[in-house]
Amino acid sequence: MKMFALLLVVAALQSAALQSAAFAQSEDVLTPEEKMDFRARFYEAVTDEDATNRLLTSFQQRFGKNPDDYPPFALAYYGATETLLGKHALNPLEKLDWLDRGLARIAEALSRRPNSLEFRFLRFSILHHLPDLLGYGETTEQDALSIYRLLMTGASDEVGSELTVGIVEFLLRSDRISDEREARLRKKYPEAEG
């Protein structure tokens, strides 16, 4: 009996190691060009419902039907795209359902890569535009602070200088950081407007 239990533990550890290795490798399945393409298509989908549906279909064609198996980058953007389905929906309950579903996926991507400036910004940019009565105010403020800290430590998360400056500008315009922090950001990123 003890031998059987030991074999189960070893099998579980091997499975966890294989899953961990698969997640590490799966992040590399996206080229920088693919990431740029998904980003551009996401920003198009913000104002275009058809583009939103095309983007979701592209994720499913590229990574499969189960978003839980997606690499963190794809999972974060898939979740953000799901929130856009809520934006485009007419039924208020459907709006909330898509919002919650998408935010949960972004949270999962963040649990896999907690210091991702890009994932944190994706969630912040969504939450920033929501009314306070939905109850996301604390998370929004935490994300603003996390983004500020990541920017100040230089953790650009491989997003490149153009996207980093865009994140700085959005954060400055959001009025969600103190004047003191705003001044520090402006000093560190003088090219940022906002």
184, burial (CB in 10 Å: exposed 0-12, middle 13-18, buried 19+): middle
What are the boundaries of each domain within the chain? Answer: 30-113, 115-194
Residues whose CB is less than 8 angstroms from the CB of residue 114 and which lie 6 or more positions away in sequence, other chains included: none
**Distance between CA 172 and CA 185 in Å, rounded?**
8
* Residue 8 predicted with pLDDT over 60: no
Quick one: how many helices (H) and strands (E) in the chain?
9, 0
* Residue 194 predicted with pLDDT over 90: no
Q: What Rg, from alpha-carbon coordinates, does the chain have?
A: 19
**Distance between CA 171 and CA 176 in Å, rounded?**
7
Q: Closest Cα partner for 83 from 35, 34, 49?
A: 49
CB-based contact 71:27 (threshold 8 Å): yes
Percentage with pLDDT > 70 across the chain: 84
> What is the three-class DSSP state of 131?
coil
**pLDDT tens digits, one per residue of 152-168:** 998 765 688 899 999 99
Residue 107: what pLDDT? Answer: 98
**Which of 125-139, 153-167, 173-187 has the lowest average pLDDT?**
153-167
**Distance between CA 141 and CA 149 in Å, rounded?**
12
**Distance between CA 107 and CA 132 in Å, rounded?**
19
pTM, 2 dp: 0.83
Residue 27: what pLDDT? Answer: 57
**pLDDT tens digits, one per residue of 56-91:** 999 999 999 999 999 999 999 999 999 999 999 999
Q: Closest Cα partner for 109 from 32, 27, 31, 178?
A: 27
